[in-house]
Amino acid sequence: MRFLVLPKAVGRARPPVRIFLAFAALALVALAAQRVLSGGLSPAEIEAHYLGAGGGEALPAAALWEEVHAGAFVYGFVLFMLGSLAALCPLSAKARGALVAASFVATMADLFAPFAIVGLGRGGALRVATFVLATVSVAALLAVVAVSFGRGAGHAHGDHEDRRAQAQPDEAGPERAGGMGERRLPSAKQEGSRALPHTHV
């Protein structure tokens, strides 16, 4: 959060953000593959899973809630991270809000679709739709962030200020970065000179 609200520090946040995005992309692909391999694109297979194959018993409520419980953590955390990083991308606030809202609605629908299937006794196609929408919308959000953070410096908000601050570290004052009293994070150059006080002369 500190890196995100102090845009001048975004340059130094770039490498860990890229690694996070790589893992988020892997997780999304793995999740999608897992769902596809277990019949996630077939309404009939989805209905058989939740309602019981060949007139068997439907999944108990506890199993449905367990799915919601685990999914809420994964979706909630990944969306929070991606949505926060998207705030630094060169997108209009409206487009960014629409992308985050679409991902939120699609993932929520995907989490709760099994209850509709069990309640209605059918509706496998609904889960296929929510799965596709959730995957596509989260992938789109991830792609937007990856494009901004994956390219060289200068494509996320704050990059220009970051370079200017590193070139002239004393211009804006060493301690204050904004109106809330945060101390500015030291630039990489300042950190280096602090770590090696006798070698930079």
Partner 1 sequence: MSNRRLDPFRWPALGFAAYLLVQAASAAALFALKLGGGAAGVRAFYLGAPERFTSAKSLAGLLEVAVPHLVAVPLVLFAAIHVVGFARKLSRRVFVALVALSFASAFAATASGFAVRWVSPAFAWLKVLSFAGLEVALVSWAALLLAVFLSRSHPVRRAAAATPVEEIVR
What are the tokens at 190? 């300042």
Instruction: Tell which one of 16, 73, 95, 189 touches partner 1 (CB under 8 A).
Output: 73
Radius of gyration of the chain measured on its C-alpha atoms: 23
CB of 198 to partner 1, least distance (A): 29
In the complex with partner 1, the residue whose CB is nearer, 74 or 147, is 74
Is residue 188 part of the contact set for partner 1 (CB under 8 A)?
Answer: no
Instruction: Tell which one of 97, 119, 154, 174 touches partner 1 (CB under 8 A).
Output: 97
Is residue 21 part of the contact set for partner 1 (CB under 8 A)?
Answer: no
SS3 content of the chain, % helix, strand, coil (to 5): 70, 0, 25
Q: Which residues contact 9 (CB under 8 A, 6 or more apart)?
A: 2, 3, 158, 162, 185
In the complex with partner 1, the residue whose CB is nearer, 108 or 128, is 108
Q: Which of residues 118-177 bind partner 1 (CB under 8 A)?
A: none
CA 137 to chain centroid, in Å, comes to 11
The piece of 11-19, 27-35, 75-83, 146-154 that touches partner 1 (CB under 8 A) is: 75-83
Q: Kindly report the backbone phi and psi dihedral angles of residue 183, in degrees, each rounded to the nearest multiple of 5, phi listed first.
A: -80, 135
| Residue linked to tokens 């985050």 | 100
Instruction: Tell which one of 36, 53, 72, 95 touches partner 1 (CB under 8 A).
Output: 72
Using CB under 8 A, count the residues that bind partner 1: 40
In the complex with partner 1, the residue whose CB is nearer, 180 or 196, is 180
| DSSP symbol at 185 | P
